[in-house]
Amino acid sequence: MSGKITISLCTEMIFGGEPMHEILPAVKAAGYEAFEFWGWGNKDIDAVGRVVGETGLRVAAFATKHGNLVDAGERQNFIDGLKETIPVARRLGCRTLLATVGQRLDDRSDDEQTESIIAGLKEASPIVEDAGITIVLEPLNILVNHKGYFLDRSDTGFMIVGEVGSPNIKLLLDMHHQQKTESNITQNATENIGRIGHYNSAGVPGRHDLDIGEINYINVIKAIIGAGYSGYFGLEYSPVGERMESIRNALKMLPV
């Protein structure tokens, strides 16, 4: 059964530190239906919500507060940050929250840190299930961009999602990060559709436009649609040329 994806533009990656509510009309004018961003604490959420209402743009995803799950001693901060973030998500009509796990702890084993992540997500599960929100856990590459981060492989991430056992806990498969870490993008992306709640993308190497680099995103997107994925596919890249031309070209290029 084929799916249907909606392309989502990561505003911070494209537009840098410009006030988000000021650039959203340009995102709409470029033809996008959805956008995503990182942290919400430094945003004018009232202004963002107003522009979302005016433009009809959808908020695909943004990050919850306090992304440290490897340390059991920090778990309550994660839970408190999640509870603080959910009302913001509701105000923006967003049903997906991004979560990171934190830096590797040298004084604890990998098994101990993995168990802490699983326990933290199990504690978070009834909270997000009740709110109708999905947490997507993000592996990051440690070869180039995020040295010391604990969760770097998608297979570990899929295992964690399976152990938590909640329909509201899934993985964010960032193809830029995982191409650097493990490759095998299309197979990983299609064989784990049920455990993936969001995709992100950028050219590799360089994290630039999707038509620059070694990943054939046209074929990848066709494959995940064919595998039945219906959800958001995020563009989280740094344009090489003029950014408005870049994002318009990206939307024309992708098979949606």
Query: Is the residue at 253 inside a domain?
Result: no
Give residue-wise pLDDT tens across range 14-64: 998 899 999 999 999 999 999 999 999 999 999 999 999 999 999 999 999
Confidence category of residue 1, pLDDT binned at 50, 70, 90: low
Query: Is the residue at 252 inside a domain?
Result: no
In which residue are the tokens 């995803």 written? 61
In which residue are the tokens 């109708």 written? 132
pLDDT at 239: 96
Residue 157: which CATH number? 3.20.20.150
Judged on CB neighbours under 10 Å (0-12, 13-18, 19+), 252 is: exposed
Query: Is the residue at 129 inside a domain?
Result: yes
Give residue-wise pLDDT tens across range 206-220: 999 999 999 999 999
Q: Is the pLDDT of residue 2 over 80?
A: no
pLDDT at 83: 98
Average pLDDT value for the chain: 96
Q: Is the pLDDT of residue 125 over 70?
A: yes
Query: Is the residue at 20 inside a domain?
Result: yes
Beta strands in the chain (DSSP E): 5-10, 34-36, 58-63, 96-99, 134-137, 169-174, 196-201, 231-235
**How many angstroms separate the CA atoms of 13 and 237, rounded?**
6
pTM of the predicted model, to two decimals? 0.96
pLDDT at 30: 97
Domain holding 50, by residue range, is: 5-243
pLDDT at 32: 98
Altogether, the residues listed in the chain come to a count of: 256
Query: Is the residue at 251 inside a domain?
Result: no
- Residue 237 Cα distances to 27, 189, 207, 211, angstroms: 15, 19, 5, 11
Tally the domains of the chain. Answer: 1
Q: Is the pLDDT of residue 133 over 80?
A: yes
Query: Is the residue at 171 inside a domain?
Result: yes
Instruction: Read off the tokens for 51.
Output: 């522009």
**How many angstroms separate the CA atoms of 160 and 6, rounded?**
26
DSSP 151-216: ---HHHHHHHHHHH--TTEEEEEEHHHHHHHT--HHHHHHHTGGGEEEEEE--TTTS--TTSSS--
**How many angstroms separate the CA atoms of 180 and 140, rounded?**
9
Helices (H) and strands (E) in the chain, counts: 10, 8
Q: Is the pLDDT of residue 149 over 70?
A: yes
Query: Is the residue at 116 inside a domain?
Result: yes
pLDDT at 214: 94
Query: In 3D, which of 145, 152, 138 has the Cα closest to residue 36?
Result: 138
Query: Is the residue at 149 inside a domain?
Result: yes
Q: Is the pLDDT of residue 143 over 90?
A: no
